[in-house]
Structure 1
């Protein structure tokens, strides 16, 4: 008898079950996924079928090579004239290729040339048109495929030229560590030069599988989507077999269980960023052509300008810009540093950038874009809005190493009260790889979800890496598909521009009123060493900015007073500005680039100073036609009359200063009538007084100097002959004893300004950051301090106009010489202004990983110190109450840092240094660092720089520190000859009635023509309060109209200003009201003498 057991019930569910069951070991299944691509099983897994065909023999791929000698950079045309030699895979070179494409490959959708030189390269047509960038190697930035155009496939022949640059994406660090100096002897070998046919269906399966793995790895816990993705990925491995091509399609169907049925037909787009060179443009063309809903960003205007070197490529890019596929963002000349450029330099970044975009594309940027700058000055919001933008993107503060910045989307309110809508991507990078993890971070890291639940994903290989990779774009398409069917991942909204993203933020937050505010600077708690690294670049920046200010002012005056003899040199001025702005790139000016970059930067500064010297002299020759510079070879001191030396003051403050003039040749008989001469008898010291922005022989009498009774504060130096020196006048006194500053005395008040028992002077700190050598100085460097003592001090000038001592020491392999001087005049002409001590240093610096500073332990107490920033100042804590306070142990300042209490203060003034600190009562200026990466020779060699110590009566707001710092950075121009000039009668432009309003810039208008002459003046409130000022225009300048403009010099609606006429000789006065730290730009339309009907006739102000 047999018995039959039915295996099914009528409902389809089996009654009997003899199987083992379907229970998985999840972690082992998940671990199995790593075997499906590459690795040990690459000859069997999906990697084995990614290419249908591959050939590399001579009949299909012919290589020829020529290598540029040394570090030369030949043009494409120059290179193509050279003698190319046969080459093969395994060689090291940058080659020329001829490709023969098999005829039967016409049937395939894509044929591509795979070129992997192990380094970066550029693919060109044979006539020099860039096609795309190449990044060799096997990193995440690998990009080695060049698609053969369809017309070349039909022809069966394709010729290209590839320029190989022997560096990786981040250079050629000798140890392989990104920040290390380059290995100048490193070679790269050509790993592949193959014609290949990609198996598109296999590649799509690869991207399917990778997205599934990302879902599995990034969805922690035991979620339905994670398990569903793991089941699908595991089944894909089971279904695939390399010998059965149809298994690829079957495996892809399994992925639809997660992505959704037919998901491939649904379009997608998102934001992407590529940067910095022409490598990007070919790739960008590929992106927008292959992925039709994606939008490409390129930050720097300079990138577009480089693109113009290739006209046909530029026309294609321009077409994409006008179509909205390439979006203009940033609005600046380069992606600049924000800490150290002057306020006017930041204005010019936007002026040059925005006007360039408008001139080439008919549009300006709405969004400012500084994702990688090392901290952001609180002056920026006002400048961004003044440059016609209202949005701002950044992300660098996610690198903070002490505090977590509390906002993602917020209103950033600047020091003047101007706000800009700011988004700091929660993804915490501007080079995201477009992974599931990146998308998740957009919400999970978002700190303002109560106000806005939207974030911007900016992806692609930046830093010159060429932008997005196909895998990134494909990944986002799949993530988008997943979010259509599952809610465990945040939805991805694609196809909109960055401006539209910000527009949406405004509309969903009641025009920003629902967002939190952040007031003041965005201080980066990282990369603090960049305020000091590469001192020569810092000096070049400051001095070139001031040089450009003076050139523009003098050139403007020359063009106004002598229009028939002089044409404003706009082209040369703009060329110089472009070099200055380029050097403010956010890795150049901070000192964090490789050594070769600084060779080029130094050349730019040399060109600026050479050109600037000529431009200055051209303007002087027009304004003072019978004069020469005392520093010029044309000046012959042996035949000169000392009484004909005069000074030109390019600042808008009156001043009285001691200057050094030559006393040689036929004027030696004047020495006994001079109050003071140098020890060698070659120079004399004279006192000159100048009004604002004018010339004067001031207090110089007919023999070249005042009498002793006319010296306001005669100075003297006292010494015991060995180790005790005192510099003194009736205002202040400084004592050096045993190689240290032991006393700083206000003589008039009898007040000691140093803490009892403490000394000031130079101090060395061990400087070994945790990783980022040139970038960082860590808080623990303060624990390793070594005060330096001068070993040799001598008197070099006894007074009464100038008293000086030279203090010298040797430390390690370095020698330091500092001349400390006290002059017989106060720092400014302000009542009760004190004299200041000037420190002129010459340093032969040979240290490694040590940090040189100057410090003063002051007998002052305040919770805050004050530092100059662009168009204003900022107060920062001197204590360590919170971690936010602790983080500011090294900060950026411009021309001064001040510690004041009620009734008194002391400032340190700087002419080229930007790093400061004030911890408790110890005020410091940072002088030199000595990092060894990425530039192994950073700051090695000779340096010349100056700083000053300035005591002052009253608190900072009652002081003359900003004026004194301005003057300290603006030496008088000494000339010899006939002083006759329109400038002698008074200042052409001056501010009256508001000592807190500074006139910063005088220049010709950007839109001037042959028939239209305008003058642009930029003023700002410097102390942090309201002001009503009168802008006075001197005689000889005929003002037709006056307007307020934005920073781009667009006339603002209903902002024509009233000009009161002073006389028939021209001139006038304009009322201007300022609020705290406000910047105003005034445009004067200039008329001609005698056309009174063109003037505005109202009462004088």
Structure 2
């Protein structure tokens, strides 16, 4: 039985879809069409008019996957259209339910100035508000036939995700290219009816609902279904009273900001994102010019740079809108990066390069960090946000949690050093808001700070693949500005919202530690070569700066500012949250691997050039370890730190390692440690000889590879679901096992085969170490399987300590609550440490980020903590051949470890010993003294003033006193922000050394004015 609501809604819906919407446009004239499909990659826009166009007819197929087709269209406005508004309607074969994930085009005038983009849900192009009749109308369209990788049945493996493997069949059909008279009153009626139909299901029984129901019924009656244009005004007049009804001042307040979250790469390559940015900005600046109340915000300085480089006319419109204060540069980052896997210095440079670009181009910086869609957030981030001068943080991804609902929407987020940043999550749980009735109801119903705060943010517009806000969304917002029965919507800068929210909540609730996303847990492992390229590039960038700085200060060599900035920006771009996490199509990762190879080659050349200048011509064999823990104090470019006590033994105990073999075991040993393997290469004993403690577990060998079925419920490259542990294969068989001793290093070689894959390891023990170092090569051919490396340990670990940027954080190993139980796959930077009161074991790596820790108790062995490193995956979407090929890994297992020892170990794997020849040794340039205080960066200041920047941090979680000494004269030293400004008072340096007091995990940046 139907109630009054469903009867009225049914009537209104049918009239809306079958009568009102079709009558928004009147008379039509078809364009004459010519087209040209480019044989390869896109050409500069300036070449478009000169292409060899051929006649084309609407209804014809066009566009193979990833191709570009240029359309040239012309039409004449009929004389009898004089005085009427005219638009072009351009439907290239759009499927309306996937904005940003299919074909789209930039529409240009004959002089190639962009007008706007056309894409799903946004087909219109302005022509004239009042036709004269007889005008010749002409447009060029640069159309991209991007395949629909995310279809009605997402996560289906496809070869369409790379131009090298995609087919060549056209995939779209032009539906319409025509001039139309737009009937403004009918279009406005459509917006009126649409809004009330959205609001009605969320109104409680009462007067407001009754009035809306009656108004809709009366409006439908006022319409003559045979003359919609002639009766639209009468129907609107019936609706005006309910649309003009003001709501109470206490209504939830929605601060809307136009938005288009454009993924810098995902289901399209970087080259397509450059065009998506141009298309979206052209449409948004057009809307800003048409609607004075509208405001739009866009993040990612890289995308602004792409617009500037490729679309100068659009760039000028963008700059004008920024100057008016209506186009908001958001976020202050180079891209919306992953925040878990990039190094601390990389996160600093995301802020530094982003804010420098905004300041240079617009004369302003972003006040907050806008990062709606990254896959979890490092607990180091609050400090970096604050030390970079930001005032707030915005995201929404934690609303995707599988199990636990985050308890706040506006709160203070506290990081590992105690820094706090005011943070907001939009309660409508989306960064692609339409201002629908469902979204508005959700925002009001879910907002958790109603008692103290008045409102929340809504990022409004189609995102991911671009497109942005539509004029229909703007019309909806205008009707919702103060509407009875609904949250009140206003276009507003996020800065204004955050200022108000902080004033309303002077004592907000506090969330301490990481913002862990209970979804997308496998992104720390997918696409291993992308992660390996990033890790190597990060370390080389810092090293190249160090060497080049030394060459500049020691010899007067020119510092390569431009090239290093270019290389930093390339690496920062590839830290985008769908590239570094390994969740993009095959094309993106194929290119990323090549890009990293080029970056690494260029950085090696820069380092070699600096070394040649510093060491001079000669044949003296020299070496340096680019690690801030190098025992002798030598660092790249003559940078140095004092030796640290890290738990490793003294050189006096560095006796050669040996190998002993028996019928059932092989033993690698030196004076400090002994590692015993069975004949299958599994680790049976791991003994710290200084204490006699065996960290292994009887009957549970280590160095055990385990293979799991890996078929998550959805989001293949992103997710691993808890049930993956239900199926496991222990890879205990060995195909080859041998050993040797060379130069005092004992080494065990082994090979395993499984499925169609082969894995080889070289396990080595060097003199003077309690560390088993592992070099591994894997020819990986598995599909939908997950490879883990397990070390069961006789350690009563209450928590697992994992490195994060500029420090570490702890995660409990128990699963007392649903929050802890959800963290069955977690992340690290370079090392993880499992310990108890009597000692610990650290596992470091040079290219992995994922791990898990479980605990077990048996009567025979007591507490067992199993540490497993995530090695390789083989998801099939969006790249059907993810990680197939040859991979290298390096690990190091250290006995008797501590947090500082593990940090040193992580450095030793990632900052390699560098050997070179020259005439002279290089003396230390910067010396840092202080237990646990590490040197992170030495470089000229970004403003190229000749000042020197030195960055240090406290790595052990303690209060520390440090001295920073330069081996070159300086006139003054001040502490500055991560952006190298906001200088504090001059720091005393009575004996040429700046003294600092550091709180746990604090990051400090010093600026030296050289004498």
Structure 1 pair 715–691 and aligned structure 2 pair: CA distance change class (3 A): same
Residue equivalent to 1:561: 554
Residue equivalent to 1:679: none
How far apart are 1:257 and its partner, in Å? 3.0
Matched, 1:731 2:724: no
Equivalent of 2:576 in 567, 585, 588: 585
For 1:836 and 1:623, locate their aligned partners in 2 and report how far apart those are by CA, in whole Å.
34
Contact persistence 1:842–1:945 (CA under 8 A): yes
Matched, 1:30 2:9: yes
How far apart are 1:103 and its partner, in Å? 2.9
Summarize deviations over 1:254-304 as a string: whole Å, max 9, x none: 2113112899xxxx9942112441111111112212221111001111222
For 1:177 and 1:160, locate their aligned partners in 2 and report how far apart those are by CA, in whole Å.
35
For 1:311 and 1:24, locate their aligned partners in 2 and report how far apart those are by CA, in whole Å.
57
Equivalent of 1:1026 in 948, 959, 971: 959
Contact persistence 2:372–2:431 (CA under 8 A): yes
Pairs within 5 Å for 1:565-644: 566-626=557-617, 644=620
How far apart are 1:1053 and its partner, in Å? 3.4
Residue equivalent to 2:288: 288
How far apart are 1:99 and its partner, in Å? 2.6
Summarize deviations over 1:734-767 as a string: whole Å, max 9, x none: 2221422222222232221112211122111111
Equivalent of 2:988 in 1053, 1058, 1075: 1058
Structure 1 pair 179–573 and aligned structure 2 pair: CA distance change class (3 A): farther
Matched, 1:383 2:384: yes
Residue equivalent to 1:806: 749
Contact persistence 2:708–2:728 (CA under 8 A): yes
Matched residue SS, 1:1059: coil
Equivalent of 2:915 in 974, 997, 1002: 974
Matched residue SS, 2:16: coil
Equivalent of 1:1076 in 969, 993, 1000: 1000
Structure 1 pair 694–98 and aligned structure 2 pair: CA distance change class (3 A): closer
Structure 1 pair 745–176 and aligned structure 2 pair: CA distance change class (3 A): same
Summarize deviations over 1:100-119 as a string: whole Å, max 9, x none: 22233231133333333332
For 2:905 and 2:771, locate their aligned partners in 1 and report how far apart those are by CA, in whole Å.
9
For 2:117 and 2:627, locate their aligned partners in 1 and report how far apart those are by CA, in whole Å.
49
Matched, 1:506 2:502: yes
For 2:395 and 2:784, locate their aligned partners in 1 and report how far apart those are by CA, in whole Å.
31
Contact persistence 2:962–2:996 (CA under 8 A): yes
Residue equivalent to 1:748: 690
For 1:207 and 1:319, locate their aligned partners in 2 and report how far apart those are by CA, in whole Å.
30
Larger mean CA deviation between 327-336 and 120-129 belongs to: 120-129
Residue equivalent to 1:415: 416
Matched residue SS, 2:6: helix
For 1:349 and 1:74, locate their aligned partners in 2 and report how far apart those are by CA, in whole Å.
30
Equivalent of 2:56 in 74, 87, 100: 87
For 1:521 and 1:572, locate their aligned partners in 2 and report how far apart those are by CA, in whole Å.
35
Contact persistence 2:454–2:501 (CA under 8 A): no
How far apart are 1:46 and its partner, in Å? 1.9
Matched residue SS, 2:843: strand
Residue equivalent to 1:405: 406
Matched, 1:256 2:199: no
Structure 1 pair 153–919 and aligned structure 2 pair: CA distance change class (3 A): farther
For 2:718 and 2:907, locate their aligned partners in 1 and report how far apart those are by CA, in whole Å.
28
Residue equivalent to 1:914: 849
Structure 1 pair 327–782 and aligned structure 2 pair: CA distance change class (3 A): same
For 2:383 and 2:55, locate their aligned partners in 1 and report how far apart those are by CA, in whole Å.
59
Equivalent of 1:927 in 855, 871, 877: 871
Matched, 1:107 2:71: no
Residue equivalent to 1:272: 258
How far apart are 1:179 and its partner, in Å? 6.7
Matched residue SS, 1:255: helix
Structure 1 pair 101–215 and aligned structure 2 pair: CA distance change class (3 A): same
Pairs within 5 Å for 1:633-672: 644-655=620-631
Residue equivalent to 1:311: 312
Contact persistence 2:337–2:577 (CA under 8 A): yes
Summarize deviations over 1:200-239 as a string: whole Å, max 9, x none: 11111111111111112223x5232223222222222233
For 1:420 and 1:153, locate their aligned partners in 2 and report how far apart those are by CA, in whole Å.
57
Equivalent of 1:172 in 149, 154, 165: 149
Residue equivalent to 1:204: 188
Larger mean CA deviation between 805-814 and 732-741 belongs to: 732-741
For 2:684 and 2:886, locate their aligned partners in 1 and report how far apart those are by CA, in whole Å.
28
Contact persistence 2:186–2:232 (CA under 8 A): yes
Summarize deviations over 1:755-814 as a string: whole Å, max 9, x none: 221112211111111101000111111222211124134335324521111111111111
How far apart are 1:443 and its partner, in Å? 2.0
Contact persistence 1:215–1:229 (CA under 8 A): no
Contact persistence 2:638–2:926 (CA under 8 A): no
For 2:3 and 2:794, locate their aligned partners in 1 and report how far apart those are by CA, in whole Å.
74
Structure 1 pair 604–548 and aligned structure 2 pair: CA distance change class (3 A): same
Contact persistence 1:896–1:961 (CA under 8 A): yes
**Total equivalences in the alignment:** 944
Matched residue SS, 2:457: coil
Equivalent of 1:794 in 734, 737, 748: 737
Q: Could you list the structure 1 runs, at least 4 aligned residues long, displaced by more than 6 angstroms after superposition.
A: 151-155
Residue equivalent to 2:464: 463
How far apart are 1:647 and its partner, in Å? 1.2
Contact persistence 2:744–2:766 (CA under 8 A): yes
Matched residue SS, 1:539: helix
For 2:4 and 2:373, locate their aligned partners in 1 and report how far apart those are by CA, in whole Å.
45
For 1:332 and 1:848, locate their aligned partners in 2 and report how far apart those are by CA, in whole Å.
36
Contact persistence 1:793–1:805 (CA under 8 A): no
For normalisation by structure 2, the TM-score amounts to: 0.90
Summarize deviations over 1:41-79 as a string: whole Å, max 9, x none: x3xx223422111222xxxx1211111225x23222344
How far apart are 1:969 and its partner, in Å? 1.2
For 1:951 and 1:451, locate their aligned partners in 2 and report how far apart those are by CA, in whole Å.
51
Larger mean CA deviation between 144-153 and 208-217 belongs to: 144-153
For 2:133 and 2:544, locate their aligned partners in 1 and report how far apart those are by CA, in whole Å.
60
Matched residue SS, 2:984: strand
Residue equivalent to 2:881: 937
Structure 1 pair 976–825 and aligned structure 2 pair: CA distance change class (3 A): farther
Contact persistence 1:392–1:422 (CA under 8 A): yes
For 2:561 and 2:617, locate their aligned partners in 1 and report how far apart those are by CA, in whole Å.
25
Contact persistence 2:78–2:134 (CA under 8 A): no
Residue equivalent to 1:988: 925
Matched, 1:719 2:661: yes
Structure 1 pair 262–894 and aligned structure 2 pair: CA distance change class (3 A): closer
Contact persistence 1:380–1:414 (CA under 8 A): yes
For 1:862 and 1:421, locate their aligned partners in 2 and report how far apart those are by CA, in whole Å.
33
For normalisation by structure 1, the TM-score amounts to: 0.83
For 1:335 and 1:800, locate their aligned partners in 2 and report how far apart those are by CA, in whole Å.
47
Structure 1 pair 355–195 and aligned structure 2 pair: CA distance change class (3 A): same
Matched, 1:348 2:341: no
- CA-atom RMSD in angstroms: 2.3
Contact persistence 2:480–2:487 (CA under 8 A): no
User: Which one has a bigger Cα radius of gyration?
Assistant: 1
Contact persistence 1:275–1:303 (CA under 8 A): no
Contact persistence 2:78–2:133 (CA under 8 A): no
Residue equivalent to 2:393: 392
Matched residue SS, 1:358: helix
Task: Name structure 1 gaps, 5 residues minimum.
Answer: 1-22, 137-141, 628-640, 656-688, 697-708, 827-834, 1062-1067, 1088-1101
How far apart are 1:977 and its partner, in Å? 4.3
Matched residue SS, 2:459: coil
Residue equivalent to 1:144: 123
Matched, 1:768 2:700: no
Matched, 1:948 2:892: yes
For 1:274 and 1:49, locate their aligned partners in 2 and report how far apart those are by CA, in whole Å.
29
How far apart are 1:175 and its partner, in Å? 6.9
Contact persistence 1:270–1:294 (CA under 8 A): no
Matched residue SS, 1:935: coil
